[in-house]
Chain A
Amino acid sequence: GDSVTQMEGPVTLSEEAFLTINCTYTATGYPSLFWYVQYPGEGLQLLLKATKADDKGSNKGFEATYRKETTSFHLEKGSVQVSDSAVYFCALSDLDSNYQLIWGAGTKLIIKP
């Protein structure tokens, strides 16, 4: 069945550092790909999404490109801020999973001033 694998955390960076959180997926169909973020004490918020190969999702300085050839959707940000500290989840949905969201394990990001 479909699955999502993302890098384990926590990831600890200094402010203004470059961020990459790796995400790879396994799917039999043509999934849509998502990054959700969970700030401390809050629910899950959609950060960005991409629905087909080579699409780039972007929001709040974060970007991720849907790479079908490497089945990846890595999250990047050029210069992180302390306020980016959160848990980041990669997820997919497709017809084969009846559009349930299939989630990665989450990566905790800690940004130090």
Chain B
Amino acid sequence: EPEVTQTPSHQVTQMGQEVILRCVPISNHLYFYWYRQILGQKVEFLVSFYNNEISEKSEIFDDQFSVERPDGSNFTLKIRSTKLEDSAMYFCASTRDLPSYNEQFFGPGTRLTVL
């Protein structure tokens, strides 16, 4: 069964460093998402991506964040200069069609720890 994969599973970085979180969505999916979950808090939407551009982003997704689909298979989330409060679990998701009724398929997540 096709699945969304994410690497690495755990990333530890120093405050101020750049990190890139990688995701490989399901191959025939067209809509891609990043969510994050700070420990003990709700899952929060960060950004959605369709047709090689951001279609929606939340207030969390400020200038420190960027997303890219560099090669038609990977979907990356870059944090330019990490802060302590960026420590969280980051989930990638994808869906084939406009997700009005359709399931978003999630990856296993990347745990980011900023020291």
Q: Residues of A at under 8 Å CB distance from B?
A: 32, 34, 36, 42-46, 49, 51, 89, 91, 93-95, 98-106
Given A51-B101, A99-B98, verify A43-B42 contact (CB < 8 Å). Answer: no
A-B contact pairs, 23 of them (CB 8 A): A42-B108, A43-B106, A43-B109, A44-B93, A44-B109, A46-B105, A49-B101, A91-B43, A93-B99, A98-B55, A99-B100, A100-B48, A100-B56, A100-B58, A101-B43, A101-B104, A102-B45, A103-B42, A103-B43, A103-B44, A105-B42, A106-B42, A106-B43
From B44, which residue of chain A is reached at the shortest CB distance? A103
Given contacts A43-B108, A102-B45, 20 further A-B contacts (CB under 8 A): A32-B100, A43-B106, A44-B43, A44-B106, A45-B106, A46-B104, A93-B99, A95-B100, A98-B55, A98-B56, A99-B48, A99-B99, A99-B100, A100-B33, A100-B48, A100-B56, A100-B58, A101-B45, A103-B42, A106-B43
B41: interface (CB < 8 Å): yes
